[in-house]
Amino acid sequence: MEKPRADDARLSRRVVCGNPRLIVIQNAIHPEPETAPPDRTAAGTLVGRLGVRSIVLVGMMGAGKSSVGRRLAARLGLPFVDADNEIEAAAGMTIPDIFAKHGEPYFRTGEARVIARLLDGGPQVLATGGGAFMNAETRAAIAAKGVAVWLKAEAETLLRRIKRRGDRPLLMTDDPAATLRNLIEERYPVYADARFTVHSRDVPHEKIVDEIIEVLGDGIDSAGGVSPPQTSGKPSAMTVQPSPRAPTVVDVALGERAYDIVIGRDVLASLGARVAALRPGARVALVTDANVAGLHLGTARASLAAAGVDAVEVVVAPGEGSKSWRGIEQVCEAVIAGRIERRDLVIALGGGVIGDLAGFAAALVKRGVDYVQVPTTLLAQVDSSVGGKTAIDSPQGKNLIGSFHQPVLVLADTAALDTLPPEQFRAGYAEVVKYGLLGDAGFFDWLEANWQEVFAGGPAREHAIAVSCRAKAAIVARDERETGDRALLNLGHTFGHAFEAAAGFGGELLHGDAVALGMALAFEFSVRQGLCPAADMERAVAHLARTGLPVRVGDLAGEAPGVDLLMDLIAQDKKVKRGKLTFILVRALGDAFVADDVDPAAIRAFLTEKLAAR
Ligand SMILES: NC(=O)c1ccc[n+]([C@@H]2O[C@H](COP(=O)([O-])OP(=O)(O)OC[C@H]3O[C@@H](n4cnc5c(N)ncnc54)[C@H](O)[C@@H]3O)[C@@H](O)[C@H]2O)c1
Ligand SMILES: [Zn+2]
């Protein structure tokens, strides 16, 4: 079997930075990040000029403060904090509920207090609720500790964007348009106090971000002073973004080891409050990789700090290479050096690599400390963060050294996926389709109709992730240690792993891409065996292909592996018993089963034909 790249990517250097609580483990051989780092030119200058001040986005509901703010923060390498989320986390209820239960004055007082506290955590990008800037004390606090940017939008634009939303308490009136106009009349003169104004309109969010960076870059001098109010852009409309809503919670029913999967946009901002509530007084080791650190560590750090949670940060090189003996050694040592005790927590902030690595470190250190999964790839949100499998790779193969160690909480921020490279998102989507194909034909139907919305973000994405997590949670609850049903989750994986291994794990062929091809092959093979109607196979293959996932050997880049190599790899796969092969086959869309007596000769003949047809 070809060796995984894990054994050549040696992790060999540890840098303890100026901040003694930040331990950066760098990969000496592949030091370059896999995704572009935040813009270090105009953005870098701006960050330098900001100092500890925050960029505070103000404006009406629907002006795009969260969606623009998140992207602005990613560009500047600063944390993004949504004041509304912080308020909800602090209150333990949604804003509509706070309004309903306690009234607006109560909410405004709490809002001012939370914003005052958040402003001490700069530099950051802070999005504030529409009414926040109306409070004179809040305006003064923002002027002292931040720079206010008003995202100004026309009434028609706002109305169109917020029409579909049911969570805006101030607009729950008989005539929302009139209410909105009254609010605009009342608020716009006050918003005009903001030092900067950028027009929110129908252009990509990144364009608005560019304008904010430009206008701030021009307006803030190097001494940190601010020149007179400035305006950019022309008024019109901007793309509709889903509103922040209460997160979806999926329960993983494992008795004493039961835990919640919390899924929603911007839930990362609630990490600190959730950790503090789950384990009062606990310290945490926050493990992430260098790519994710540049995009989302700031938000996690700010949230923990705001909740008073003391954290040591451990940053490893991105990529499968970190799931190695060297990687686990270094993470364990960093966690121990961070004085994490048995009642403290490890937090895995990243994709499946970080989840597997940090989870395994948590299983080992002090004979096991609890950990929280904060998955930031689609694959990790729907698959690897749920179920408690943790592992590193050995030179003999992937995931060969590991343990079952369930997390105590999974926090899946669907907005974190906005920064994921599209090919990574698509690869993760293969695992989403898998849940439909293996046991839920209705979900598959829904995906066929809604997949574009899932890719776009918003409620459909959250729904798809929640259904996937529910499916995985149900299977894990039935068969935690994979003695039976859990094997169904391997649909497409025996074929897929063989192609993945042949390409070199962690290499050009993404896991999800390999799984998509594997599922297409599993369906085709099932049809050949007379097990499944051809029409079902055709629908499965067509859907995967429509999203751009590979479904034929010919769809793979590079040279195809030979059948001997593939058969060797399949035989070495851990799903083999007494010379017969175990495959997950299908009887129909949504009806997979474990076939543990598959004839290797039939697989060889099938693969030979598929390889020839490429
Ligand atoms: N434990 C399990 O049950 C289980 C299940 C499936 C897969 N896995 C493991 O998961 C791993 C693959 O996970 P993966 O696909 O998430 O890979 P990954 O963790 O390597 O992430 C993929 C890439 O995306 C980057 N990234 C992560 N989040 C990002 C974000 N929000 N924005 C931009 N970039 C981001 C990462 O730095 C990395 O470069 C494999 O090691 C596999 O064995 C484990
Ligand atoms: Zn998989």
Catalytic residues: 367, 389, 431, 472, 482, 486, 490, 493, 497, 511
Tell how far the Cα of 382 is from the centroid of ligand 2, in angstroms. 10
Tell how far the Cα of 110 is from the centroid of ligand 2, in angstroms. 44
Are residues 458 and 365 part of one domain? no
- Whether 396 is in a domain gets the answer yes
pLDDT at position 254 is 85
- Whether 242 is in a domain gets the answer no
Tell me which ligand sits closest to the C-alpha of residue 294.
1
Atom number of ligand 1 nearest to Cα 390: 1
% of the chain at pLDDT higher than 90: 58
Residue 23 pLDDT grade (very low, low, confident, very high; cuts 50, 70, 90): low
pLDDT at position 121 is 86
Average pLDDT of every residue of the chain: 86
Give the tokens for residue 468: 């996937």
Residue 3 pLDDT grade (very low, low, confident, very high; cuts 50, 70, 90): very low
DSSP lists the bridge partners of residue 103 as: none
Distance (Å, rounded) from C-alpha 398 to C-alpha 353?
11
Average confidence (pLDDT) over 555-584: 84
Pick from 297, 377, 425 the residue to mutate for probing ligand 1's pocket: most ligand atoms within 8 Å of its CB.
377
Residue 22: phi, psi to the nearest 5? -110, 120
Are residues 429 and 412 part of one domain? no
In this structure, the dihedral spanned by the alpha carbons of residues 548, 550, 551 and 557, taken in order and rounded to 10 degrees, is 140
Give the tokens for residue 525: 């093979």
Task: Using the predicted structure, report yes or no on whether residue 255 has a pLDDT greater than 60.
Answer: yes
Give the closest residue (by CA) to ligand 1 atom 13.
352
pLDDT at position 279 is 94
Atom number of ligand 1 nearest to Cα 428: 15
Answer with the residue of higher pLDDT: 547 or 99.
Answer: 547
Task: Using the predicted structure, report yes or no on whether residue 350 has a pLDDT greater than 80.
Answer: yes
Average confidence (pLDDT) over 310-315: 97
Distance (Å, rounded) from C-alpha 335 to C-alpha 343?
13
Give the tokens for residue 611: 């390889």
- Whether 202 is in a domain gets the answer yes
DSSP lists the bridge partners of residue 313 as: 22, 286
pLDDT at position 102 is 85
Query: If you compute the radius of gyration of the chain from its CA atoms, what whole number of angstroms results?
Result: 25
Distance (Å, rounded) from C-alpha 454 to C-alpha 244?
16
Task: Using the predicted structure, report yes or no on whether residue 19 has a pLDDT greater than 50.
Answer: no
Tell me if 266 CB under 6 Å of ligand 1: no
Answer with the residue of higher pLDDT: 159 or 554.
Answer: 554
Are residues 605 and 479 part of one domain? yes
* 588 closest CA partner among 491, 493, 468: 491
% of the chain at pLDDT higher than 70: 86
pLDDT at position 343 is 94
Distance (Å, rounded) from C-alpha 180 to C-alpha 574?
61
CB neighbours of 603 closer than 8 A, spacing ≥ 6? 525, 567, 570, 581, 583
* 195 closest CA partner among 126, 147, 123: 147
Average confidence (pLDDT) over 176-188: 86
Q: Give the CATH number, domain containing residue 114.
A: 3.40.50.300
Residue where a domain terminates, one of 398, 417, 436: 417
Residue where a domain terminates, one of 389, 417, 445: 417
* 420 closest CA partner among 448, 394, 389, 382: 382
Distance (Å, rounded) from C-alpha 372 to C-alpha 379?
17
pLDDT in tens, 360-407: 999 999 999 999 999 999 999 999 999 999 999 988 788 899 999 999
- Whether 371 is in a domain gets the answer yes
Are residues 372 and 293 part of one domain? yes
Are residues 179 and 127 part of one domain? yes
Residue 236 pLDDT grade (very low, low, confident, very high; cuts 50, 70, 90): very low
CB neighbours of 336 closer than 8 A, spacing ≥ 6? 365
pLDDT in tens, 427-481: 999 999 999 999 999 999 999 999 999 999 989 999 999 999 999 999 988 877 7
- Whether 600 is in a domain gets the answer yes
Are residues 284 and 366 part of one domain? yes
Distance (Å, rounded) from C-alpha 74 to C-alpha 576?
45
Q: What proportions of the chain, in percent to the nearest 5, are helix, strand and coil?
A: 50, 20, 30
Residue where a domain terminates, one of 417, 443, 473: 417
pLDDT at position 144 is 85
Q: Is the pTM of this model over 0.75?
A: no
Distance (Å, rounded) from C-alpha 477 to C-alpha 211?
49
Q: Which of 104-113, 163-172, 414-423 has the highest mean pLDDT?
A: 414-423
| Terminal CA-CA length for the chain | 23
For 351-474, strand residue ranges (E) read 370-375, 389-394, 397-404, 409-413
- Whether 513 is in a domain gets the answer yes
Where are the alpha helices (H) located in 490-599, listed in sequence order? 493-503, 511-528, 534-546, 563-572
pLDDT in tens, 200-211: 888 888 889 999
Q: Give the CATH number, domain containing residue 597.
A: 1.20.1090.10
CA 258 to chain centre: 22
Are residues 494 and 371 part of one domain? no
In which domain, by residue range, is 524 found? 424-612
Distance (Å, rounded) from C-alpha 584 to C-alpha 487?
8
Give the tokens for residue 46: 């701006």
Average confidence (pLDDT) over 271-280: 95
Are residues 61 and 144 part of one domain? yes
Give the closest residue (by CA) to ligand 1 atom 30.
420
Tell me which ligand sits closest to the C-alpha of residue 519.
2
Query: Residue 250: enclosing H or E segment and its boundaries?
Result: strand 248-252
Residue 155: phi, psi to the nearest 5? -55, -45
Atom number of ligand 1 nearest to Cα 427: 15
Residue position matching structure tokens 């697989």: 603
Are residues 434 and 413 part of one domain? no
pLDDT at position 11 is 29
- Whether 37 is in a domain gets the answer no
- Mode of pairing for the β-strands spanning 248-252 and 259-264: antiparallel
- Whether 189 is in a domain gets the answer yes
Tell me if 490 CB under 6 Å of ligand 1: no
Angle at the Cα of 47 from the Cα atoms of 43 and 49, rounded to 5 degrees = 115
Are residues 251 and 190 part of one domain? no
Angle at the Cα of 173 from the Cα atoms of 169 and 176, rounded to 5 degrees = 95
Count of domains observed in the chain: 3
pLDDT at position 58 is 95
Answer with the residue of higher pLDDT: 310 or 123.
Answer: 310
Amino acid at 339: R
Are residues 154 and 65 part of one domain? yes
Are residues 374 and 312 part of one domain? yes
DSSP summary character for residue 323: S
Q: What is the DSSP string of 559-570?
A: PPPPHHHHHHHH
Q: Give the CATH number, domain containing residue 408.
A: 3.40.50.1970
